[in-house]
């Protein structure tokens, strides 16, 4: 852990991410988002402990059988708030360029932030199924970024 960044700051950010409550009105997207957030939080804790790889790498949940989606009813304010939090966490982790896991987690957080901001900006102007597919791709890509750091 760098002397310029206290582990407590990162742990506090991890706690905020863990408590984030975003309503997407889409069970599949919410399940993937929760899985990604759990993975990001675990990885931030791993960074504070000096690990080079995530200590836990649970497989993504199977979301094929989940209920119907109504992403148009997503709470855009909570999406924007989580996007900002992800961006802040990524900035904190960027202060640790000597830790490969920190770099990978920061990348995953930035992907998630851009995906959520894209959702907020695109929903009023694009067909909901297009926006939904774009968000699901971002969530899966961010998980894949973390998996790239897995043993």
In a domain, 2, yes or no: no
| Tens-place pLDDT, residues 78-118 | 999 999 999 999 999 998 888 999 999 999 999 999 999 99
Asked whether residue 127 is domain-assigned, the answer is yes
pLDDT at 25 exceeding the cut of 80: yes
Is 60 inside any structural domain?
no
Which domain covers residue 27, as residue numbers? 7-50+73-147
Two tokens, residue 23: 């309503």
Three-state SS for the chain is: CCCCCCHHHHHHHHHHHHHCCCCCCCHHHHHHHHHHHHHHHHHHHHHHCCCCCCCCCCCCCCCCCCCCCCHHHCCHHHHHHHHHHHHHHHHHHHCCCCCHHHHHHHHHHHHHHHHHHHHHHHCCCCCHHHHHHHHHHHHHHHHHHHHCCCC
Q: Say if 22 falls within a structural domain.
A: yes
Q: What is the pLDDT of residues 44-68, one digit of tens each?
A: 999 999 998 888 888 777 776 666 6
Domain for residue 1, yes or no?
no
Q: Mean pLDDT, to the nearest integer, of 4-25?
A: 87
pTM: 0.89
User: Would 118 be classed as within a structural domain?
Assistant: yes
Q: In the predicted model, is pLDDT for residue 33 greater than 80?
A: yes
Whether residue 114 lies inside any domain: the answer is yes
């Amino acid at each position: 852990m760098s002397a310029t960044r206290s582990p407590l700051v990162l742990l506090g950010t991890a706690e905020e991410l863990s408590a984030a409550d975003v309503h997407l009105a889409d069970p599949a997207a919410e399940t993937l988002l929760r899985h990604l957030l759990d993975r990001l939080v675990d990885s931030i804790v791993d960074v504070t402990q000096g690990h080079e790889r995530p200590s836990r790498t649970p497989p993504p949940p199977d979301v094929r059988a989940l209920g119907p989606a109504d992403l148009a009813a997503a709470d855009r304010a909570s999406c924007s708030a989580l996007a900002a939090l992800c961006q802040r966490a990524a900035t904190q982790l960027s202060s640790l360029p000597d830790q490969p896991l920190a770099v990978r987690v920061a990348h995953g957080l930035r992907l998630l932030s851009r995906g959520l901001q894209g959702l907020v900006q695109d929903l009023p102007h694009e067909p909901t199924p297009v926006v939904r597919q774009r968000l699901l791709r971002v969530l899966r890509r961010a998980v894949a970024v973390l998996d790239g750091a897995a043993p």
